[in-house]
Structure 1
Amino acid sequence: MSQTKKGLNTLCTHEGALEDTLFKGATSPLYMSSSYAFEDVDLKRYPRYFNTPNQEALGKKLAALEHAETAMIFGSGMAAISTALMAFLKAGDHVVFQQTLYGGTYNFAVTQLEKYGITYTFTEGWDVVDFEEVIQSNTKVIYLETPSNPLLTITDMKGVANLAKEKGIFTLIDNTFASPINQNPIDFGIDVVMHSATKYMGGHSDICAGVVASSKENMDRIYQTAICFGGSLSDYTVWLLERSIKTMALRVKAQNENALLMAKYLVSNPDVAAVNYPGLETHPEHELAKSQMKGFGGMLSFELKSEIDVSHFFRNLRLIKPSMSLAGLESTMISPAKTSHALMSPEDREKQGIKDSLVRFSLGIEELEDLIGDIEQAISETKSVSLPV
C-alpha cells in the first residue's frame, strides 16, 4: 500500500497516537477498561477482540512501520506466530519451514502441528531452491526467518515470495531480528510479517508482546483465529509498548552501529573462531543482505575457540549481561544451546550449526570500547583459570 512521506522517527513518535481530548496531554491517554457499552455504539469493544482504543491505535502505528494495511498486538511473539500459522493451516495441509529457525517456533512445529493433522518439512538450506525442493501439492504456507536466530543467515525474501505466489502459497516471516527499522518484508512480496515485540519494539527488557501485520484480507482471517486463541495484551502493556516504539528508530540505529564495529573487532580477536553478522563483507549472503536491508541489525553471534569454556566466559563478564531475550538498551549474551534452542535435540542443533561454543550477542547502546574491554577481560580471566577435569 502507498505510504506517506513521513520519516521513521516521525512515524514512531506520532503515527496512531490517541488524542487526549479532555486534558490535551502530549501522550496517548490510557484506557484501562475491560468492559465497554454494547448499546448505541458503532463498535462493540472487548480486550480479547483486539479492539480497545489503545490496541487499535498501536495497531495503526505498527502497520505504518511495516508498510501493511493493518496490524494486531498479541501477548507474546509466540502467540503472534502460532495464531498466524493456524489461521492459514488446517488438517491435511503442509507447511515448509526454513531450516535455520528460532527454537520456540521449531518446538511449536514439532510438538503441536501433528495434533491437528498438519504436516511440515524443514528445508535443507535457506536458498530459494531449498524451499522449492520441499513444496508439496498440499503446501499452504512457507515460513521464513531472516536474519535468522542465532546464525544470522539471510534468505532471499523476493525470490521465495515469487515462488510462493506462482504456487498459490502464503508466505509468513519472523522479522524480529531486523525490526521494521531495518527491513520491510511486505515490500518484497511477503504476505504476513510477525515480530516478538518484546525485542526491538519494547527495547527496554520490560515488555512481553507480539505483532502480526498484513493486508486487511489476511488480517481478517487471522483475527477469526485470534479471538478464539485469546492471545491479547493488557492495555497498560499496549500503552507502554507505544511509548517504547517512539524511540525505536534511534535505538536501532545506535545498535546497528555498535554491532557492525563489534563484528569487525571479533573477527580480529584471536580467541574467536567464527563470527556471524550480515554486515561483514565475508558473510556468505552479504550482498543479498545489502539489497533487502536498510541496516544490518544489532544482533550477531560468534564462536569461542575450543580451549575457552563458554560458561566460565559468561561468569566472568562484568558489563555485558548473560541474560535471556535480546534487543534491550543493555548488551546481552546467551548460549543458544542452553536457552533459545534448548528445546531442540543436540542432533537437530548440530544440523542447524548451533554449537555449544556459539554465543549470541545482542548489542546495546553502550560505548563500544567499554563492551570490548569487558569481552577481553572475561576471556583473559577464563583462560587464566585451569578448567576442571
Structure 2
Amino acid sequence: MSEQGFTTKIVHSDRLLNLEYGAVHAPIHNSVPYGFDDVQDLINIFQGQPGHAYARQSTPTIDALQHKLCQMDNGYATLAFASGMAAIVTTFLSLLKSGDHLICSRFLFGNTNSVMGTLQSYGIEVTLVDTTNIEEVKAAQKDNTRMVFAESIANPVTQISALDAIGDFCEKEKLVYVIDNTMASCYLFDATTVKASLIITSLSKYVAGHGNALGGAVTDSGLFDWQAYPNIFEGYRKGDSKMWGISQIKKKGLRDMGGCMSSQIAHLISVGSETMELRMDRQCDNALLLAEFLEQHPKVAKVYYPGLNSHPQHDLAKRLFKKFGAILSFDLIKDEDCCKVLNKLDIVINATHLGDNRTLALPVAPTIYGEMGLAVRKQMGISETMVRCSIGIENSADLLADFKQALA
C-alpha cells in the first residue's frame, strides 16, 4: 500500500490496533491499578517489560493516543503528559543536570521563558540567543553544552528559527535538538526533516482543537544516538538504545514528577485530532486573509505573520511548512488603544489560548508576557500595544467584517 495521507492515518489509527468488538475508538480505561494472576507478570512490568501496573505511568487508552501521536510526528516513541508545560519541564529536568549548558531561543512562550530561570536556579546554564541566526547558536556552544531548544514558530512575534541549519549543527556536535512544534504543529511541519531529536507539543492547541482538553507530548524521532549522551542513568542503558532517552523521561519525569494525563483526556484529544487537517487548513487560510487585510489597514502599524512577503523568514516558512500557521500578531499605530479595539470585536473572543476552533485575541504585554517586564519584551520584539490572534474556523467574510468594524 502506498503512503497514506495525514488524516487517513489518524482516523484509522485506533481500529488498526485490533480493539475489542470491532471498536473504531480506543475505550476509556479508568482503572488506576492493574491486577495480575501471576505476580511475576507484575514484576516484569516493573523491570521494564510492556504492560500496565499503575495509571500514573500508562493506561491502554493513553498508549493508543501515544501510538497515534507517534505516527503524526513520524517518530520512534511518544509520551503523553498532563500539559505541554509538563512535557517541557520533565524533558529538561530528566535529561539535564547541574553544570550542563542549554542553548535556547530567546523568542519563547512566556511560561517556557519562566522555566529557564528555574533551570538556572538548579545550576543548569542557559544562554538565550536569536535562533533565527545560526551563527549566534554556534557561538553560544560551550564544552558543557548538551542541548539546543527552539520553537518552530515563536509566540507571539512569529519568528522562525533557522530550523534546518540548527539541525545540521546539532547533528555534527552530537547535541540533543529539541523543537517545540506547538505553533506550527505536526500537520504543517515534520520536525524530523530538520533532524530534531525530541519534538514537544502542547496537545491542548491544534491537536485537540476544541478548547476542552489539556495535554502535552514528547516524541523521540529516533535520530539521536543516546549511547553518546552522558546523562543517561546506568540502569536505563539496556535494550534498544533508541529508547534510552524517552525511557529516562518516562521514569525520571512522568513517573517521579507525576505530570500524567488521564484516560478521559486522552480520549478527548484522540477524537479531536481526527479533524486536525481539516481545521488547520481553514484556520491557516483565514489567518492569511486576515493578515493581508490588516497589513493594508491605515490603523495597523505592523503585522507579524509568516505568510506575508514582509515577514523576515517568509521564504524559510514557505520551504519548510505546508502552510503558514494560524497565529498572527499586529501593532496598532500610535495613539490607538488596542483594548478598545478588542472590546469592539463581536465574533472574536478576548481570551488566552491557541488553536481553538474559535478566533481568540488578547493584548500581549499586560497579559501572557506581563511577568517578563519591559526590557525582556523589547528583546523579544514585543511592543506594548501588540495584539495576538489565534485564528479559528469561522467563515472568513465574517471574521474580516468583525475586524473591519472594530477598527473603524
Give the TM-score normalised by structure 2.
0.89
Matched, 1:338 2:366: yes
Matched, 1:21 2:20: yes
Matched, 1:225 2:252: yes
Partners of 2:131 and 2:161 within 8 A in 1: no
Aligned residue in 1 for 2:172? 166
Aligned residue in 1 for 2:304? 276
Equivalent in 43, 51, 63 of residue 43 of structure 1: 51
Aligned residue in 2 for 1:349? 377
Question: Hey, what's the Cα distance between the residues in 1 that align with 2:135 and 2:29?
Answer: 49
Equivalent in 308, 315, 319 of residue 347 of structure 2: 319
Letter in 1 for 2:78: A
Equivalent in 67, 77, 83 of residue 74 of structure 2: 67
Matched, 1:91 2:118: no
Aligned residue in 1 for 2:149? 143
Q: Aligned-pair distance for 1:39?
A: 4.2
Aligned residue in 2 for 1:386? none
Question: Hey, what's the Cα distance between the residues in 1 that align with 2:148 and 2:131?
Answer: 14
Per-residue CA distance 1:153-205 (angstroms, 9 max, x = gap):
11121210111122221111110001110001112101000011110011111
Aligned residue in 2 for 1:190? 196
Question: Hey, what's the Cα distance between the residues in 1 that align with 2:280 and 2:216?
Answer: 18
Aligned residue in 1 for 2:266? 238
Equivalent in 122, 129, 135 of residue 123 of structure 1: 129
Q: Identify the range of structure 1 (10-19 vs 116-125) with the bigger mean alpha-carbon deviation.
A: 10-19
Question: Hey, what's the Cα distance between the residues in 2 that align with 1:285 and 1:34?
Answer: 47
Equivalent in 186, 196, 200 of residue 180 of structure 1: 186
Letter in 2 for 1:334: L
**Count of aligned pairs:** 375
Stretches of structure 2 that go unaligned for 5 or more consecutive residues are 42-49, 223-242
Question: Hey, what's the Cα distance between the residues in 1 that align with 2:35 and 2:194?
Answer: 42
3-state SS, counterpart of residue 267 of structure 2: helix
Question: Hey, what's the Cα distance between the residues in 2 that align with 1:220 and 1:260?
Answer: 40
Per-residue CA distance 1:54-104 (angstroms, 9 max, x = gap):
111100110011010111111011000011112221010011111111111
Matched, 1:33 2:64: no
Equivalent in 92, 107, 114 of residue 107 of structure 1: 114
Letter in 2 for 1:363: I
RMSD (CA atoms): 1.6
Q: Aligned-pair distance for 1:125?
A: 5.1
Q: Aligned-pair distance for 1:132?
A: 0.9
3-state SS, counterpart of residue 111 of structure 2: helix
Question: Hey, what's the Cα distance between the residues in 2 that align with 1:119 and 1:16?
Answer: 42
3-state SS, counterpart of residue 130 of structure 1: helix
Equivalent in 207, 223, 245 of residue 213 of structure 2: 207
Question: Hey, what's the Cα distance between the residues in 1 that align with 2:26 and 2:370?
Answer: 40
Partners of 1:12 and 1:248 within 8 A in 2: no
Aligned residue in 2 for 1:358? 386
Aligned residue in 2 for 1:262? 290
Question: Hey, what's the Cα distance between the residues in 2 that align with 1:20 and 1:197?
Answer: 24
Q: Matched residues, percent identical?
A: 30
Per-residue CA distance 1:119-154 (angstroms, 9 max, x = gap):
111004521111111111111111001211011111
Q: Aligned-pair distance for 1:222?
A: 1.5
3-state SS, counterpart of residue 307 of structure 1: coil
Aligned residue in 2 for 1:387? none
Letter in 1 for 2:33: S
Partners of 2:52 and 2:59 within 8 A in 1: no
Partners of 1:83 and 1:229 within 8 A in 2: yes
Q: Aligned-pair distance for 1:4?
A: 7.0
Partners of 2:204 and 2:213 within 8 A in 1: yes
3-state SS, counterpart of residue 278 of structure 2: helix
Partners of 1:88 and 1:141 within 8 A in 2: no
3-state SS, counterpart of residue 143 of structure 1: strand
Q: Aligned-pair distance for 1:28?
A: 2.3
Distance of aligned partners of 1:29 and 1:125 in 2 relative to their CA distance in 1, 3 Å threshold:
closer
3-state SS, counterpart of residue 343 of structure 1: helix
Question: Hey, what's the Cα distance between the residues in 2 that align with 1:203 and 1:4?
Answer: 28
Per-residue CA distance 1:303-362 (angstroms, 9 max, x = gap):
111221011111111110011101111001112212322221211011111112111111
Question: Hey, what's the Cα distance between the residues in 2 that align with 1:351 and 1:173?
Answer: 21
Question: Hey, what's the Cα distance between the residues in 2 that align with 1:66 and 1:310?
Answer: 37
Question: Hey, what's the Cα distance between the residues in 1 that align with 2:148 and 2:6?
Answer: 29
Question: Hey, what's the Cα distance between the residues in 2 that align with 1:197 and 1:314?
Answer: 27
Q: Aligned-pair distance for 1:376?
A: 1.7
Question: Hey, what's the Cα distance between the residues in 2 that align with 1:157 and 1:76?
Answer: 24
Aligned residue in 1 for 2:83? 76
Question: Hey, what's the Cα distance between the residues in 2 that align with 1:222 and 1:128?
Answer: 28
Q: Identify the range of structure 1 (338-347 vs 271-280) with the bigger mean alpha-carbon deviation.
A: 338-347
